[in-house]
Amino acid sequence: MFTTSKLLAENHITGIFSERQGGISPAPFDSLNLGLDLGDSDENVQHNLKQLCLGAQLPIPHRSEQVHGTNYLLCAGEGIQHNHQADILITRTAGCAVAVRTADCLPILLIDTQAGVAAAVHAGWRGTVQNIAQVAIQKMQAFGAKAEHILACLGPCIAEPCFEIDIDTGKQLSHSHPQAHLYIRYKNDKAWANIQAINTLQLQSSGLKSTNIESLSLCTSCLPERFFSYRRNGIQAGRQLAIVALPDAL
């Protein structure tokens, strides 16, 4: 049902990325769809979410309305689906979980166990252009986190060979960081970008230690048995969830 962050686990934190097996949703959302308003029933999604959290031993996470922006939502209490537009969900409440939905975009889980601040970030190409990783770190710092203590796990997303974009998108991405151009390839009138690498640069420039950044090499587009992919499945693609929780006792 899910892949676990080894880096977070080593630090006694549960950070997971759901996969598409083990749920009850019918095709084309088979089977662990966690996205609402796609055509799958709300009951299926609720059931899938409960089973996932049970399996991962996580509380039901807070979720937001994701809009490819850089707004954040500070979450506490019982996890719900908020009617609030935000692509960064932060918690500083013990026992509270936050999550983002993706289907090719990059999910980033962040935590400072010493300060007790965790975040889930939805970084697509638009978020990457807006430096969402750096914005998330700044927000965490505003809540007491220290960059040198923050652990990051970059989850499954569409990998560079599959992430064909237009030249203008490539140029926008290349302006997001001084070294971003190293991870954008151009050929004829097309470009390809490694958004995981570009977000890693942004996190490093925010002060995160390289040893505190884990990147899972799992391409959502190349692994149809394991992940939903918007590029592969279009508007009927299901959604996976990336979740991180602050433990009950730190």
CA proximity to 107, closest of 21, 207, 34, 39: 34
Determine, following the binding rule CB under 5 A, whether residue 8 of this chain makes contact with Zn ion.
Answer: no
Determine, following the binding rule CB under 5 A, whether residue 1 of this chain makes contact with Zn ion.
Answer: no
Residue 162: CB minimum distance to Zn ion, A = 3
Q: Name which of residues 81 to 140 contact Zn ion (CB under 5 A).
A: none
Q: Phi-psi region for residue 67, left (φ > 0), alpha (ψ -120 to 50) or beta?
A: alpha
Candidates 7, 45, 109, 159: give the one binding Zn ion (CB under 5 A). 159
Which CB atom, from 74 or from 218, has the smaller least distance to Zn ion?
Answer: 218
Beta bridge partners of 75: 91
Residue 161: CB minimum distance to Zn ion, A = 6
Determine, following the binding rule CB under 5 A, whether residue 221 of this chain makes contact with Zn ion.
Answer: yes
Determine, following the binding rule CB under 5 A, whether residue 219 of this chain makes contact with Zn ion.
Answer: yes
Residue 17: CB minimum distance to Zn ion, A = 16
Cα dihedral value 25, 219, 222, 21, nearest 10 = -20
Determine, following the binding rule CB under 5 A, whether residue 222 of this chain makes contact with Zn ion.
Answer: yes
Candidates 1, 24, 162, 218: give the one binding Zn ion (CB under 5 A). 162
Q: DSSP of 192-226, one letter per residue?
A: EE-HHHHHHHHHHHTT--GGGEEE---BTTT-TTT
Among the residue ranges 19-27, 37-45, 54-62, 214-222, the one whose residues contact Zn ion (CB under 5 A): 214-222
Strands 88-91 and 106-112: unpaired
Using CB atoms within 10 Å of the CB of residue 223, give its burial: 0 to 12 exposed, 13 to 18 middle, 19+ buried: middle
Contacts with Zn ion, residue ranges (CB under 5 A): 159, 162, 219, 221-222
